[in-house]
Structure 1
Amino acid sequence: MKLSDYLSKHKISQTTFAAQLGVSQGLVYQWLTGKRPVAAEQCPKIEELTGGEVRCEELNDRVDWAFVRASGEKVT
């Protein structure tokens, strides 16, 4: 699921989500509009915060998430 769809579905504002994640609302806006990609370090945090509804693979396709998941290492 796309992050924008998740926020809409759960009626979560960009400001609230940003606060939960510890980033600025402006950064969340940039992710949602495609002006800035979601950093790989943020993807696991977002996946966890959304209960797996938004997956790392949806947020950043430049990382081989299958490899990361298989390795058992956390991206931080």
Structure 2
Amino acid sequence: MYSARQQKGEASLAKLLSVTPGTVNHWLWRRRPVPVAQCVRIEQLTGGQVTRQMLRPDDWESIWPDIEKSQE
């Protein structure tokens, strides 16, 4: 079930990233991949609670080879 709290969180993140809440929703439901530059910003904004590896699980190693697997 989609909660009002989730919707508020998506709207807040969208505002911080200068994108629409719909864009954040598409990333959340994996309808669209999160752009590389946004991954870094999201990781920073969440204090590492949401990582680049979580946002790009299929290709993070090729995008950020400097991140060690132990940080997953």
| TM-score, length basis structure 1 | 0.67
Counterpart Cα distance in 1 of 2:29 and 2:64: 26
Counterpart Cα distance in 1 of 2:8 and 2:51: 17
Unaligned runs of 5+ in 1: 1-6, 71-76
Greater than 6 Å deviation, 4+ residue runs: none
Counterpart Cα distance in 2 of 1:35 and 1:41: 18
Unaligned runs of 5+ in 2: none
Is 2:17 aligned against 1:32? no
Residues matched between the structures, number: 62
Query: CA shift at 1:67, angstroms?
Result: 1.4
Higher relative contact order (Cα pairs below 8 Å, separated by 6+ residues) = 1
Q: Relative to total residues, which structure has the larger helix share, 1 or 2? A: 2
Between the aligned residues of both structures, percent identity stands at: 32
The residue identity in structure 2 corresponding to 1:67 is P
Query: CA shift at 1:50, angstroms?
Result: 0.2
Query: CA shift at 1:12, angstroms?
Result: 4.8
Q: Which has the larger radius of gyration?
A: 2
